[in-house]
Amino acid sequence: MGERQPVSCAVGAALQAHARAVAAEGIVQVGGTFTCVPDADTFVRTRPEAFLVGVLFTQGIPAERAWAGPWLLAQRLGHFDLVRLAAEREAVASAVAARPALHRFVRTVPRWVSSAAARVLEQYDGDAGSIWRDGSRVAEVAERLRAFDGIGEKKAAMATEILVRHLGKHLVGLEDGCVAYDVHVRRVFLRAGLASEDSLEAVREAARRICPEDPGSLDLATWLIGREHCRPSNPRCDICPLGRACPRLTHLRPDGVGTRRQDRS
């Protein structure tokens, strides 16, 4: 992509202000909860292994549906025991695939779930919460998460931010956090003139310039703007939190939009 205007201090300030407002209101995903099902929300919030599986589910389906996945899986199986999730792989696969399917990737997601259960048992003595134990560095937690099948850079960045901002985990080294290279985040950074090109390095460098002490804090706020306002078509610029500070480069689209669904879609 060609040269565009430099990072705008006004846009960066507007994004930071919105991120603080989102955090203050306790917003998670598209509201005050992970999903519109109270029992499912409680399940994800109170059981670390359910949160981990929820992260695995956040790909290619709406966020609310993804976070409900662990609770719905437990309902179908009649348990959420890590030993059985790891050993009874056919049962997990059948539970995910039974209509209505819990996920569009009915072959891949069950494999990730069983693999994750086995890894937690082997590496963390059956306690998924040990992955993000208090005092761990953000970069460490992200690295541990990326070791799980089905968790890459985007999911790890999203998960660490949620753990800190919404689940109250006391992680250190927030300056090492980052925004997820998600399609909604990418679109906002491009259209707002915050990133000069659609690349992982450009987007994350822009986030570090805007908020060097905690770049990951911009993640959810940016994602929400991309999903609710800075849409691929018919963007709602008139009510966008970035307001008039944004140059509104709405003709720009991240590479690959329309050809694949992204995490937390």
Provide the pLDDT for residue 25.
Answer: 81
User: pTM for this one?
Assistant: 0.85
As a whole number of angstroms, the distance between CA 217 and CA 127 comes to 27
101 shares its domain with 215: no
Of 125, 147, 175, the residue at which a domain comes to its end is: 175
Provide the pLDDT for residue 257.
Answer: 41
CATH of the domain at 129: 1.10.340.30
47 shares its domain with 117: yes
Please check whether residue 129 lies inside any domain of the structure.
yes
Of residues 20, 23, 4, 2, the one with CA closest to residue 12: 20
Per-residue pLDDT of the chain (265 residues; tens, 9 = 90+): 444 444 478 999 999 999 999 888 877 766 668 898 999 999 999 999 999 999 999 999 998 999 999 999 999 999 999 999 999 999 999 999 999 999 999 999 999 999 999 999 999 999 999 999 999 999 999 999 999 999 999 999 999 999 998 899 999 999 999 999 999 999 999 999 999 899 999 999 999 999 999 999 999 999 999 999 999 999 999 999 999 899 999 999 887 543 333 344 4
As a whole number of angstroms, the distance between CA 180 and CA 155 comes to 7
Please check whether residue 47 lies inside any domain of the structure.
yes
Provide the pLDDT for residue 258.
Answer: 33
159 shares its domain with 196: no
Provide the pLDDT for residue 27.
Answer: 75
72 shares its domain with 119: yes
Please check whether residue 53 lies inside any domain of the structure.
yes
State the SS3 of 117-162. HHHHHHHCCCCHHHHHCCCCEHHHHHHHHHCCCCCCHHHHHHHHHH
Please check whether residue 69 lies inside any domain of the structure.
yes
189 shares its domain with 158: no
Provide the pLDDT for residue 166.
Answer: 86
Please check whether residue 3 lies inside any domain of the structure.
no
81 shares its domain with 125: yes
Of residues 13, 14, 1, the one with CA closest to residue 237: 14
In sequence order, the β-bridge partners of residue 28 are 31
Specify the amino acid at residue 78: G
Residues 6+ apart with CB under 8 A from 239: 229
Provide the pLDDT for residue 1.
Answer: 42
110 shares its domain with 219: no
Please check whether residue 61 lies inside any domain of the structure.
yes
Please give the angle made by the CA atoms of 187, 188 and 193, to the nearest 5 degrees.
105
Q: Quote the number of domains for the chain.
A: 2
Residue-wise over 177-200: b if at least 16 C-beta within 10 A, else e?
Answer: bbbbbbbbbbbbbbbbbbbbebee
Per the structure, the complete domain to which residue 223 belongs is given by 9-27+177-245
C-beta separation of 217 from 19 below 8 A: yes
Please check whether residue 170 lies inside any domain of the structure.
yes
Of residues 56, 42, 113, the one with CA closest to residue 80: 113
